[in-house]
Amino acid sequence: MKAGKLLGLVVAAALLARAATATEWKIVKQNGRDYVSFANLAEFYHFGEYTHANRTISLRSERRGILAHAETNEIRINGVKFYTLFPLEMHGGESLISAVDVGKIVEPVLRPSRLKNAQKVDTVVLDPGHGGTDIGTKNAWGTEKGFALEVALIAREQLQRAGFTVEMTRSGDQGLSLEERVEFANRFNNAVFVSIHFNAGTGGAGVESYALAPEGVPSTQSGGHHAASADAQPDNGNAQDGHNVALTAAIHASVLSRVSANDRGVRHARFKVLRHIRIPAVLVEGGFLNDPGEGQRIATPQYRQQLGTAIAQGIQNYNAAVNYRSGNAGFTVARASLPAHSRSITEPLHAAPPVTPVAPEEPSVSISAGE
Element (H, E) at 53: strand 49-53
Q: How many residues at the interface with Zn ion, by CB under 5 A?
A: 3
Please identify, using beta-carbon distances, which residue of 136 and 348 lies nearer to Zn ion: 136
**9 exposed, middle or buried (CB, 10 Å; 0-12, 13-18, 19+)?**
exposed
- The rounded distance, in Å, linking the Cα atoms of 121 and 140 is 38
Q: What is the CA radius of gyration of the chain?
A: 21
Q: Nearest approach, Cβ of 200 to Zn ion (angstroms)?
A: 8
Min. distance of Cβ 136 from Zn ion in angstroms? 4
Q: Minimal distance in Å, beta carbon 137 to Zn ion?
A: 7
Minimum CB distance to Zn ion smaller for 136 or for 206: 136
Phi then psi for residue 158, to 5 deg, are -65, -40
CB of residue 283 vs Zn ion: minimum separation in angstroms?
Answer: 8
Complex with Zn ion: residue 63 or 272, whichever CB lies closer = 272
Question: Which CB atom, from 46 or from 197, has the smaller least distance to Zn ion?
Answer: 197
- Sheet with 89-91, side-by-side order of all strands: 28-30, 33-37, 94-98, 89-91
Interface characters, 78-117, with Zn ion (x: CB under 5 A): ----------------------------------------
Binding of residue 243 to Zn ion (CB under 5 A): no
Residues numbered 118 to 147 that lie near Zn ion (CB under 5 A) are 129, 136
Output 197 or 252, the one with its CB closest to Zn ion: 197
DSSP secondary structure letters along 141-155 = TEEHHHHHHHHHHHH
CB neighbour class for 16 (10 Å; exposed up to 12, middle 13-18, buried from 19): middle
Following DSSP, what letter does each residue of 115-144 receive, concatenated?
A: -TT-----EEEEEE--BTTB--SEETTEEH
C-beta neighbour count of 63 within 10 angstroms: 17
Asked if 336 contacts 67 with a C-beta cutoff of 8 angstroms, the reply is no
CB-nearest residue to Zn ion? 197
The answer to whether 246 touches 345, Cβ cutoff 8 Å, is yes
Q: H/E element holding 347?
A: none
Of 57 and 273, nearer to Zn ion (C-beta) is 273
Partner residues linked to 81 by β-bridges: 76
Dihedral sign for Cα atoms in the order 68, 208, 240, 275? positive
Q: Which is nearer to Zn ion, 129 or 237 (CB)?
A: 129
β-bridge mates for residue 67, sequence order: 58, 76
State which of residues 46, 197, 270, 297 lies at the interface with Zn ion (CB under 5 A): 197
* Only segment of 58-66, 152-160, 193-201, 242-250 that touches Zn ion (CB under 5 A): 193-201
Q: How far is CA 150 from the centre of its chain?
A: 24
Q: Using the minimum distance from each CB to Zn ion, give the nearer residue, 136 or 203.
A: 136
Pick the closer one to Zn ion by CB: 132 or 234. Answer: 132
Buried residues in 81-108 as b, exposed as e (16+ CB within 10 A): bbbbbbbbbeeeebbbbbbbbbebbbbb
Which positions lie near Zn ion, rule CB under 5 A? 129, 136, 197
